[in-house]
A and B are shown apart, each in its own frame.
Chain A
Amino acid sequence: MSNEFGLTLVAARPALLAGQNNIVDVLIRVQAPDAPSSGLPERPRLNLAIVIDRSGSMSGQPLHEAKRAAAFMIDSLKATDRASVVVYDDTVNVIAENQHVENRNRFKAAIAQVDSGGSTNLHGGWLKGAEESARHLLKGYTSRVLLLSDGQANVGMTVVTEEIAHQCAQLADTGVTTSTYGLGSGFNEELMVAMARSGRGNGYYSQNAEHLMERFHEEFSLLSALCARNVRLRLAPLPGIRCEMLNLYEAAKDGNWQLPDLTYDGEAWAAVRLKLGSAGLPAAGESLALLKASVVFVDLEGAECQIREKWLTLPVLTEKEFEKVAVNGDVVRRVTEAEAAKLQENAARAAKAGDWKRVDMILMQARQMAQHSPWLSEIVVYLEKLAAQKDEMRFSKEARYSAMNMSSRQRSKKEFDADFSEMGALMHLQRRVEQGTTGRFGQQEPGETDPLDPFDK
């Protein structure tokens, strides 16, 4: 049981071969404290802007589910939290201004009146949500825009994914993060994933409207257990050593790597590949410090904190000794998953271009890698099933979201424990095989009343 943040560096094979060029795969784990046995401490106060797409394509079941999910979020908030609700089609409207959630009925009445409209001014809607959230950027609050869309942005800023993602990143620097929810198969997953990744929030995708609620539950599970924000990893390899980041993380302006926010029981991780030539190696029997890692983050009170730096030091061995050193299977598994995430991104691009031959080749490659990771193995089986249907929209979304989740989401820090149970972990720490479907929450038999559904009462 640990009550402190931790940082560990583990090499896949913890040794260097004397007189040879070496490639060392390293797993870096940034671990949050354990969840207290008496239950999670009081969660940070929230300042949420719920931004709902009400364009024509949302009419019917999707809009009903979106309203249900928004009402669920309002019901989950405390009176000390703040919230606002923005709806957009080709115009943007604030239907509930940023205020304390003292009168939930006022919010829910406004949400209930939302009906479907015209085109999709996605950027305008997001910006208005950000504006509402920024109006009360208070210390001790977690400010986030929850953006839901089922379509392609076709009004306002429409085509410049990088520009919108850059705006999300800049806004996240000031304290307003962005999570995105893609619904159906018509939305622009490239934009939604980029916004979530740069906006330091989470990206969710739901194939059907009835699974949307589960994504909101997941977000709420994460926000409730949050203990560190804006987690940045600084890597300093020894001069002459090349250090390659294998995860799909973005490097900040200062060269640090932006890791996901941390919750209790969670760990952010990174797999890096170090390449060093034989010239700089000491003789066998000596050791070499290869890499220094340090982590800074912002705690819930807004204070900048640092986790004590750690070095990776490996012994230099003769060939005979080197062969006896066991390979760490856990590190190999994570390295495989980081590399598989890149493959999945490539597969998503190939599918978008209609190049199914290339998709098949990439999936074959992923299948070979999957022997090290049962989770990856299941994902590959599912992706192969989708690839056989040649539904480019669905496949590209599954592959892209799967890549993001596999590479950039935090994991349970007990994942390597022999007695780790996936179902026992907090919801946001559970690994998902299918990104757009399945899930225990939000699924109900026809006619059955969902106790969480504020409109069914």
Chain B
Amino acid sequence: METGQNKPKRNFTRAYVDNIHCYYYIFICMMNTEQNKEAGKFPWTVEELIAVAERVISSDPMLFAHPERESNKDLNVRLIRDYVVREFIPRPERVGREAHFGLNHLVQLLAVRLLLRSQKWSLPAIKASLATTSTEELLSDLLSPIRLQIEAEFRQASGTQMMSDQVKANRVKTPELNPAQLLIERFKGGVQPKAIPSSMARFNISRSMVAAPQPESPLFKRMQSTSSKLHVPIDPGCDVVIDAERMKSLTPEEVERLGEALKRRLLDELAR
């Protein structure tokens, strides 16, 4: 049975508990506000990032077209993780318990895909180039044809107009390269001899490798019927392409045998 003396105490306790709830509520609200801010800058989970990137790529498929592959849809979580580990795109931000990606991640991901697929840069060249190029520079140069789509996706996801702030914040202080300079850097990269891993340095193509007679394979028939390029599948995702037109010193049969010899040697190297 309640007495009149207990009432104030209980009321006090309740008020005290309510205050704690209130502080806790305010604290949670403040935490959420901070998280929302982060979520605004980094609005995408990895799956969402992939979906957005594929939408942007499909808005200009020719820009990202791979000379030898038809499909543009080969992004997946594993690949994104690989790009993060190999530092082609920055590490994601932690928002709550999840890894989130922002504009700079999307821009760098698209830049990697573009340079790798349609412009056929090597991965080390891409890494070196991205290290000295800011998000804003990538948007205004390399990705300028799809800049509007990228900005629209980011605005829609973040629900804010703070992109320009973020771009400024992400800007790395490097001398700006105009499109011509970017192109020249690429040409320079193309001319310089690429470093050969020591294990591969011993692997020289000699005339003797192609001299051994081999029966004509379906690969060569396909090459004859379609183009001068011979595709030699080594491993899933790894083809060696030999352009027979450029190897005028070799007969088609020798090109074919060269392909077979390369395949054997590369598989041996992989098996070691």
Partner of A130, one of B178, B179, B184, B191: B184
* A133 CA / B179 CA spacing, docked (Å): 12
Question: Which chain B residues in 161-193 approach chain A with CB under 8 Å?
Answer: 178-181, 183-184, 187-188, 191
**Bound: A267/B106 CA distance, A:** 47
Rounded to whole angstroms, the CA-CA distance of A134 and B177 in the bound complex is: 9
Asked if residues A127 and B184 are in contact (CB atoms below 8 Å), the reply is yes
Cβ contacts under 8 Å, A133 to chain B: 180
Who on chain A is nearest to B182 by CB?
A174
**CB under 8 Å from chain B, chain A span 402-453:** none
CB contacts (< 8 Å) of B179 on chain A: these are 137, 174-175
Instruction: Determine if A175 and B191 form an interchain contact, defined as CB atoms under 8 angstroms apart.
Output: no
The answer to whether B191 touches A170 (Cβ under 8 A) is: no
CA distance A167 to B184 in the complex (A): 9
Closest-CB distance, A84 to chain B (whole angstroms)? 14
**A167 to chain B: which residues have CB within 8 Å?**
183, 187
Residues on A with C-beta less than 8 A from B184 are 127, 130-131, 134, 171
A78 interface residue per 8 A CB criterion: no
Closest to A167 in B: B187
- The answer to whether A123 touches B183 (Cβ under 8 A) is no
| Shortest CB distance A345–B (Å) | 20
Q: Chain B interface mostly helix, strand, loop or mixed?
A: helix
Using Cβ atoms and an 8 Å threshold, which residues of chain A touch B191?
123-124, 127, 156-157
B181 to A131, Cβ gap below 8 A? yes
The interface residues of chain B lying within 8 Å CB-to-CB of A170 are 183
A137–B180 CA distance with the chains assembled, in angstroms: 8
CB distance from B121 to the nearest CB of A (A): 14
Instruction: With both chains docked as a complex, state the minimum distance between the C-beta of B36 and any C-beta of chain A, in angstroms.
Output: 42
A-B contact count (CB 8 A): 36
| A268 CB–B CB distance under 8 Å | no
Of chain A, the residue at the smallest CB distance from B187 is A167
Give residues 129-168 of B contacting A (CB, 8 Å): none
Q: How far is the CB of A314 from chain B (nearest CB, A)?
A: 36
Inter-chain contacts of A171 with B (CB < 8 A): 180, 183-184
Complex Cα distance A131/B178, Å?
11
Q: Which residues of A contact B183 (CB under 8 A)?
A: 167, 170-171, 174
The answer to whether A176 and B187 have CB atoms under 8 Å apart is no
- Return B246 CB to nearest CB of chain A, in Å: 8
Q: Could you say which residues of chain A place their CB within 8 Å of the CB of B181?
A: 131, 134-135, 137
Q: Which residue of chain A is the closest to B246 with respect to CB atoms?
A: A160
Q: How many residues of A contact B (CB 8 A)?
A: 18
- Across the interface, do B188 and A127 meet the contact criterion of CB distance under 8 Å? yes
Are A176 and B188 in contact, with the CB atoms below 8 A? no
Question: Which B-chain residue is minimally distant from A123 (CB atoms)?
Answer: B191
The answer to whether A134 touches B187, judged by C-beta atoms less than 8 angstroms apart, is: no
| Contact A137–B187 (Cβ < 8 Å) | no
Interface contact B178-A137, CB-CB below 8 Å: yes
Closest Cβ–Cβ distance, residue B38 to chain A (whole Å): 38
A102-138 contact mask (Cβ, 8 Å, vs B): 1 or 0 = 0000000000000000000001100100110111010
Across-interface contacts of B188 in A (CB, < 8 A) = 127
Instruction: Give CA–CA (A388, B40) in the complex, Å.
Output: 79
CB-contacts of A146-176 with B (<8 A): 156-157, 167, 170-171, 174-176
A130 to B184, CA, bound (A): 8
Kindly supply a per-residue 1/0 record for chain B positions 230-255, scoring 1 wherever the CB is within 8 Å of any chain A CB and 0 otherwise: 00000000000000000000000000
Output the least CB separation between A131 and chain B (Å). Answer: 5
Closest CB of chain B to A226's CB: distance in Å?
19
Report B256 CB to chain A, min CB distance, Å.
24
- List of A residues within 8 angstroms of B178 by Cβ: 134, 137, 174
Please indicate the chain A residues that have their CB under 8 angstroms from the CB of B180 in the complex. 130, 133-134, 137, 143, 171, 174-176
State which residues 70-120 of A face B: CB under 8 Å: none
CB distance from A201 to the nearest CB of B (A): 15
Query: Can you name the residue of chain B whose Cβ is closest to the Cβ of A166?
Result: B187
Q: Closest Cβ of chain A: how far from B201's Cβ, in Å?
A: 22
Q: Closest chain B residue to A128 by CB distance?
A: B184
Q: With a 10 A CB-CB cut-off, give which of A133, A134, A137, A167 has the most chain B CB atoms.
A: A134
Chain A's closest residue to B119 (CB) is: A170
Q: How far is the CA of A8 from the CA of B188 in the complex (A)?
A: 43
Q: What is the CA–CA distance of A175 and B181 in the complex, to the nearest angstrom?
A: 11
Interface centre among B178, B183, B187, by most chain A C-beta atoms within 10 angstroms, is B187
Which chain A residues lie closer than 8 Å to B187 at the CB level? Answer: 127, 167
- A252 shortest CB reach to chain B, Å: 13
- Chain B residues lying within 8 Å of A137, measured Cβ to Cβ, are 178-181
User: With A and B bound together, what is the CA distance between A134 and B186 in angstroms?
Assistant: 14
Expressed in whole angstroms, the Cα–Cα distance for A284 and B180 within the complex equals 55
A135: B residues at CB distance < 8 A: 181
Complex Cα spacing A157 to B188, Å? 10
Closest B residue by C-beta to A138: B178
> Nearest chain-A residue to B192 (Cβ)?
A156
Report the Cα distance A176→B187, complex, angstroms.
14
C-alpha spacing A131/B186, complex, angstroms: 12
Report the bound CA distance from A216 to B178 in whole Å. Answer: 29
Given the complex, which residues of B lie within 8 Å of A176, measured CB to CB? Answer: 180
* B:21-63 near A, CB below 8 Å: none
Q: Which residue of A lies closest to B62 (CB)?
A: A253
- The residue of chain A having its C-beta at the shortest distance from the C-beta of B181 within the complex is A134
Chain B 181-216 interface residues, beta-carbon cutoff 8 Å to A: 181, 183-184, 187-188, 191
Q: Can you list 5 A-B contacts (CB < 8 A)?
A: A127-B191, A134-B178, A134-B184, A143-B180, A171-B183
* A residues whose Cβ falls under 8 Å from a Cβ of B: 123-124, 127, 130-131, 133-135, 137, 143, 156-157, 167, 170-171, 174-176
Taking A170-B183, A175-B180 as known contacts, 8 extra A-B pairs with beta carbons closer than 8 A to each other, sorted by chain A number, are A127-B187, A127-B188, A133-B180, A137-B181, A143-B180, A171-B180, A174-B179, A175-B179
Instruction: Please list the 5 inter-chain residue pairs (A to B) with the smallest Cβ-Cβ separation, ordered nearest first.
Output: A134-B180, A174-B180, A174-B179, A134-B181, A137-B178
